[in-house]
Amino acid sequence: MHRLIIERLKTARNNKGLKQADVAEMLGVKKNTISNWENDKADPDIDSLIKLCSIYGISCSQLLDEAYENIPIQEFFLSDIERHIILAYRHSDNITKELVYRALSIDTSRTRPEIKSQPSDLPVEDPIEPTQHTASDIDAAVADYRHQLELEARQAARSAVSPITDIRKDA
């Protein structure tokens, strides 16, 4: 959740003289749920956020407007190509996902150095450190990967046994 929202909700709760346990009881959730929200360990669903704002007497829409006013609107929408890329990525194997991540890490480290985190669900054993690679390095890695896939496909085709051959052997 946006840091500003967390701070405003916590301040509003304190200004109302409410303890986390009080708010949890009003919402019908465990006390640690409120603590997790205020410590950015979990996010409330939209219904809970609206209820919190109501309890605290603050405007939910104003809170969201303040928190997200500086985010360009295009960051909320995906183009057709972005949707296609996301769907293709989701249906890719782990090796392809790693290659995509490495390529994006290289580009991101060059164009947006403030972005340094690695997603926790990245299917690799060791952390990937962004390095300086050229486009030809990436092209070569992709070509190597394609070549490896072609070799594996040929090998699988050679080892496949024809059902006709099996019948003749049994006869």
Domain boundary among 46, 73, 100: 73
Residue 157 lies in a domain: yes
Supply the pLDDT for residue 49.
93
Domain count, the chain: 2
Residue 132 lies in a domain: yes
Distance, in Å, from the CA atom of 168 to the CA atom of 155, rounded to the nearest integer, reads: 23
Domain boundary among 18, 45, 73: 73
Could you tell me the mean pLDDT of each successive run of 10 residues in the chain, 171 residues long? 89 94 94 93 92 93 82 67 85 85 76 60 48 63 76 75 49 46
Domain containing residue 17: CATH number: 1.10.260.40
Supply the pLDDT for residue 33.
94
Supply the pLDDT for residue 132.
55
Residue 169 lies in a domain: no
Domain boundary among 73, 96, 121: 73
Residue 170 lies in a domain: no
For residues 54 and 87, membership in a common domain is answered with no
Helix, strand, coil content of the chain in percent (nearest 5): 65, 0, 35
**Can you give the pTM of this predicted structure?**
0.43
Q: Provide the 3-class DSSP secondary structure of residue 79.
A: coil
For residues 93 and 117, membership in a common domain is answered with yes
Supply the pLDDT for residue 30.
92
Residue 121 lies in a domain: yes
Supply the pLDDT for residue 140.
73
For residues 46 and 102, membership in a common domain is answered with no
Residue 68 lies in a domain: yes
Supply the pLDDT for residue 7.
93
Give me the domain span that covers residue 65.
Answer: 3-73
Pair 20, 34: CB distance under 8 Å: yes
For residues 25 and 101, membership in a common domain is answered with no
Supply the pLDDT for residue 58.
92
Measured over the CA atoms of residue 110, residue 116, residue 121 and residue 123, the dihedral's sign is positive
For residues 114 and 44, membership in a common domain is answered with no
